[in-house]
Amino acid sequence: MKICIHEREEEWPATTTMTEVAANFPGADILLVNGHHVKHDYKLQPGDECWCLSRGGTSSKQEMEDLLALRHTPEIQRIIQTSTVGIMGLGGLGSMVAVALARMGIGRLLLADFDVVEPTNLNRQYFFLDQVGSPKTKAMAANLARINPFVELELLQQRLDAAAIKKHFSKVDVLVECFDDPVMKADAFRLALTDMKPIRYVGASGVAGYGSNNDIRTQSPYPGIYLVGDGHSDPKQGLSLMAARVGIAAHQQANQVVRILLKDSENAL
Amino acid sequence: MNITVNGEPKETSPNNSILNLLNELEINAQTVVVECDNTIIKQEEYATTILQDGAVLELIRFVGGG
């Protein structure tokens, strides 16, 4: 019978179990068939797709891509892993967007932040205590490398302004605005609608507090331009930025990026 | 004269600039994106852009936090 082992089709006897297949992968202790965990005595069926992996082992780039293709389907994965996404600001929004995109196997991330990790960031941002004091771009690169070391990263350790945004982010497939400062949010949004047109853009406004989940929503005020948030919740005493609600917004942004890449149309809402 | 702001009819004085209108509405000019008659207005033109009767404006306001 024909079965697929690590994406290669091979001819094996009809009575083959995972024991025989796994014998070719010394140390393999994670056995997957069609994306599901199985035991060694699992009897293989024609057409089964088999993976034998080692816990704690470093996957190769090809292995990581194959695994993601198995999860997401090859057509979808090919688009994700050939795309470049720019993220402006690595706070509660940007750090979570970067992690989500890295987990999904994005090809290239262009990450910009001028700041260092501060203790007050840890209530919501994807950094760790031992990274306090490190530049956010470098700390983020280290964290992403532990999740998916094959994402190509370009780091911009600088404060952005309109000229720098135009210079560095004009060629990305999708630009994600994750600034904290409302002036920068407005400046970047205006830029996306004028000098950088027709860039595909996902901004955010109104993510603080613990208000209703369902008030965080994604709108498309212009073709190819998306805005996530409730539109009004800015951080104030008793309603500061909190991990859960900022996380909802960040993941709406990340999912909007995926929808833009996969739908490839002006209306991907 | 009459203008429309975010879909709502509004009355304002003739020869009013966008900057004056934003001040009247108590909107921070730094944190808003202004579209006037289907054109995005550059920030440095808020003071010099004079609203015409019947102008249709969209104001997109941004709050901080990220």
Q: What pLDDT is attached to residue A110?
A: 98
In which domain, by residue range, is B41 found? 2-61
Whether residue A81 sits in one domain with residue A52: no
Query: Which chain B residues contact residue A183 at CB under 8 A?
Result: 30-31
Distance of CA B7 to the CA centre of its chain: 12
**Strand, helix or coil for residue A239:** strand
Say if A66 falls within a structural domain: no
Q: Are residues A20 and A112 in the same domain?
A: no
Is residue B11, in this structure, part of any structural domain at all? yes
Q: Give residue A25's domain range.
A: 2-57
B54 CA: distance to closest CA in chain A (Å): 22
Residues A193 and A248 in one domain: yes
Domain match, A196 and A160 both: yes
State residue A58's pLDDT score: 59
Domain count, chain A: 2
User: Is the domain of A51 the same as that of A168?
Assistant: no
Task: Give pLDDT, residue A228.
Answer: 98
Single out the residue of A245, A241, A249 nearest to residue A211, CA to CA.
A245
The answer to whether residues A238 and A115 belong to one domain is: yes
pLDDT of A57: 64
Cis peptide before A26 (omega within 30 of 0): no
Q: Which residues pair with A9 in a beta bridge?
A: A4
**pLDDT score recorded for residue A66:** 84
Determine, for residues B43 and A190 on separate chains, whether the beta-carbon distance falls below 8 Å. yes
Give backbone dihedrals phi and psi of A142, rounded to 5 degrees, phi first.
-65, -40
φ/ψ of residue A109, rounded to 5? -120, 135
Below-70 pLDDT ranges, chain A: 57-59
Classify residue A63: in a domain, yes or no.
Answer: no
Answer whether B63 touches A (CB < 8 Å). Answer: yes
Residue A64 maps to a domain: no
Report pLDDT digits (tens) over A163-216. Answer: 999 999 999 999 999 999 999 999 999 999 999 999 999 999 999 999 999 999
Residues A153 and A196 in one domain: yes
- A53 and A173 fall within a common domain: no
A231 lies in a domain?
A: yes
Of A89, A93, A185, the CB nearest to B62: A185
Angle between helices A243-263 and A74-81 (to 10 degrees): 110
The mean pLDDT of B46-65, rounded to a whole number, is 97
B45 touching chain A per CB within 8 A: no
pLDDT at A137: 98
Q: Is A110 helix (H, G, I), strand (E, B) or coil?
A: strand
The answer to whether B6 faces chain A, any CB pair under 8 Å, is no
Q: Is A104:A72 a contact under the CB 8 Å cutoff? A: yes
pLDDT at B61 over 70: yes
pLDDT computed for residue A267 by the predictor: 86
Structure tokens belonging to residue A263: 């739908």
Bridge partners for A109 per DSSP: A85, A153
- Does residue A62 fall inside a structural domain? no
Classify residue A71: in a domain, yes or no: no
In a domain, A268, yes or no: no
DSSP string of B4-61, one letter each residue: EETTEEEE--TT-BHHHHHHHTT--GGGEEEEETTEEPPGGGTTT-BPPTT-EEEEEE
CATH of residue B6:
3.10.20.30
> Residue type at A248?
I
CB contact under 8 A, B63 and A232: yes
Q: What is the pLDDT of residue A53?
A: 83
Q: How far apart are the first and last CA of chain B?
A: 39
**A130, A241: one domain:** yes
pLDDT at A7: 78
- A109: part of which helix (H) or strand (E)? strand A108-112
CATH number at residue A247: 3.40.50.720
CATH (domain of A31): 3.10.20.30
Q: B47 pLDDT exceeds 90?
A: yes
Claim to verify: residue A106 and residue A182 sit in the same structural domain: yes
The CA distance from A200 to A49, in Å, is: 37
Please report which residue ranges of A119-264 form alpha helices under DSSP H. Answer: 136-147, 162-169, 182-193, 243-263
Name which of A92, A193, A206 is nearest B63 (Cβ-Cβ). A206
Residue A67 lies in a domain: no
How many angstroms away from the CA of A36 is the closest CA of chain B? 37
> In the A/B pair of chains, how many CB contacts fall below 8 A?
70
- How many independent structural domains does chain B possess? 1
* C-alpha–C-alpha distance, residues A27 and A57, integer Å: 9
State whether A227 and B42 contact (CB < 8 Å).
no
| Cβ–Cβ under 8 Å, residues A14 and A48 | no
A188 and A146 within one domain: yes
Residue B66 within a domain: no
